[in-house]
Structure 1
């Protein structure tokens, strides 16, 4: 049987995912502390635990943990792709950060002429086209882009506005209030209330993760598993559907140069993230970049019962522009649909290329 399968994951009720901030008695998890979609650092542990349980493992039985599922510090023979979102079966992707919006249209940023700045001589991003003098250009925040929209974006064409799917069409937050229960009496502790913010997905919305390297028969008995805080359960459906990575469509221009941009569709983990933000993830330095802020993500160490250290990730959607000779381009284009940076087996640094026009 195939050792590559896609997990489509839906909540049974709500989910509780938060940032790596303290959450102790008397503290609150507000909307700004919520993380969705959850980071792969969180998902991978839940998936591996579910597979191990299906093979007879229970917490504390280290001798029954399947070797192919790795250790707390590696995935063993497993590799993962994601985390991606789906709505009614349609795949959604992070919006490339050089795609901007006006009141009625989507437009692009592109490298401008060389200027002197605090970064040295560089080509800062400028607006490619504006709809009118009255149009205000703004970033696209809190939205995803459809597969069809992403393909147009990689071709250098402007996708329609309806190719964007706002977060509010995918999920909503819910404030939950609870109280502390005394361990011995199982009654409420007076005055010890807590508050958390949960995620409720809209109808038809799910997460999708590709699991490779593990026999499918090991996974077929898994129909639900705990995911996230408070051991909220998730429902899982297995399929052979692969991630629809857009086709490679970058071509040399008439002057012989290749004008390509690289964009991450999953967060990237790098040895020197500040260098990558400025110069790009390849040995060939970029011409210009439009990147997001570094985010700190950790996870939970099930074996050691403690949080994992926070690490800096470059967010998905970050874009780097290149103007390359065909010889220099030959060494980069093979990376389309592959990974750059550290821990590719976790799905980090999934990168694709598109074309821009000067």
Structure 2
């Protein structure tokens, strides 16, 4: 069985960005959203440990019970975070694909909005080699949909090669409002403030316009623990330990469906990253799909990258990627900040073709999106959705 955890904010939430308070040029620290998987996993592991009666001091020293079940902040045990997703109106939503552009024009008192998609151009010589780069066929001034989400209906349209309706696109500002906060550092032993420790943060508060929550799917828990779980509970989540209401439910694991009809007019497939990913850390190909290697022509110029996903041999022709996602955090065990990590951000796209130039079958598409890729898949990283590249 898989455990479904529904997290709903009771107060403001704050999930600190990677910069530190004392970094040069930092005025206010923003909150990232959705929260890092390590933050959510840590809060839920703490709740499960409390329900199991764990002595946390012994657990910290590696002597307590259930080490193999809950693991630690770096290496999870049997506990696996299969997926962390945002749900709006009871339906899962996904980061808007990076190739979607919006163009707005104002004529008199009326504003007109149109949506477009990037296309992949002919090979050009650049610093990457002789490769195909994205081109904008949209009107000048069109912008990508940063901080937007797409519903399943809109995603199905996009996966089929179309342009989703505006009603299927949800701006994050409809879900969350920014709430600036001013804080001071306190010396509790002396009953006074600490000199120089004045800081500003930007918390997130639900706007109340739409009903939303975070949904966490957890795998690897034994039946004994699942039977002891309450229906509802609460946890302290993120910076300053703000409260979140928790609901538990048991689900039967199911493979993700490939809601994609065959299309002989497609050039290949588009892979949409729906969760953060660590594909090739410590490598100059950290942006690339895991295990893919550059292929060069007779002039020594890279023309594409080649590799395998779920046993399907592919060549990577082009990519449209947002800025890397920078994550840090606090190591409770070592009592020190975690090293900064750069992750491939959700919404990124990879345009691929099979090595034999045929189109993947629906069974191959199903196999590709049934798995997670790269490192740290136990944290829910590396999930892909497959669509047609037209």
- TM-score clears 0.5: yes
Secondary structure of 2:188 counterpart: coil
Is 1:105 aligned with 2:114?
Answer: yes
1:251 aligned partner: 262
Aligned Cα RMSD in Å? 2.9
1:234 aligned partner: 244
User: For the residues of structure 1 that align with 2:163 and 2:377, how far apart are their CA atoms?
Assistant: 31
User: For the residues of structure 2 that align with 1:220 and 1:156, how far apart are their CA atoms?
Assistant: 44
* Contact 2:278/2:286 (<8 A) preserved: no
* Contact 2:267/2:389 (<8 A) preserved: no
2:178 aligned partner: 173
1:318 aligned partner: 348
Give how far 1:45 is off. 1.1
1:115 aligned partner: 124
1:7 aligned partner: 5
Is 1:43 aligned with 2:53?
Answer: no
Is 1:352 aligned with 2:385?
Answer: yes
Give how far 1:221 is off. 6.2
2:274 aligned partner: 265
User: For the residues of structure 1 that align with 2:317 and 2:100, how far apart are their CA atoms?
Assistant: 17
Spell out, residue by residue over 1:248-272, the C-alpha distance to the aligned partner (whole angstroms, 9 max, x if none).
Answer: 4263626xx7610111100111224
User: For the residues of structure 1 that align with 2:291 and 2:347, how far apart are their CA atoms?
Assistant: 13
Q: 1:101 to 1:93 in 2, by over 3 A?
A: same
1:337 aligned partner: 370
Match 2:330 to one of 289, 300, 304: 300
Q: Is there any run of 5+ residues in structure 1 with no aligned partner, and where? A: none
Matches within 5 A, 1:121-270: 121-127=130-136, 130=138, 136-184=141-189, 186=191, 193-203=198-208, 204-214=211-221, 215-220=225-230, 223-240=233-250, 245=256, 247-249=258-260, 251=262, 253=264, 259-270=268-279
User: For the residues of structure 1 that align with 2:170 and 2:193, how far apart are their CA atoms?
Assistant: 42
Q: 1:170 to 1:83 in 2, by over 3 A?
A: same
Give how far 1:328 is off. 8.3
Match 1:61 to one of 45, 58, 63: 58
Secondary structure of 2:57 counterpart: coil
Q: 1:210 to 1:114 in 2, by over 3 A?
A: same
Secondary structure of 1:277 counterpart: coil
Q: 1:229 to 1:295 in 2, by over 3 A?
A: same
* Contact 1:10/1:235 (<8 A) preserved: yes
Q: Is there any run of 5+ residues in structure 2 with no aligned partner, and where? A: 105-112, 293-306, 308-313
**Quick check: 325-334 or 89-98, which moved more?**
325-334
Give how far 1:229 is off. 1.2
User: For the residues of structure 1 that align with 2:97 and 2:9, how far apart are their CA atoms?
Assistant: 27
Spell out, residue by residue over 1:89-111, the C-alpha distance to the aligned partner (whole angstroms, 9 max, x if none).
Answer: 12110111112222322221122
Is 1:21 aligned with 2:19?
Answer: yes
User: For the residues of structure 1 that align with 2:371 and 2:201, how far apart are their CA atoms?
Assistant: 37
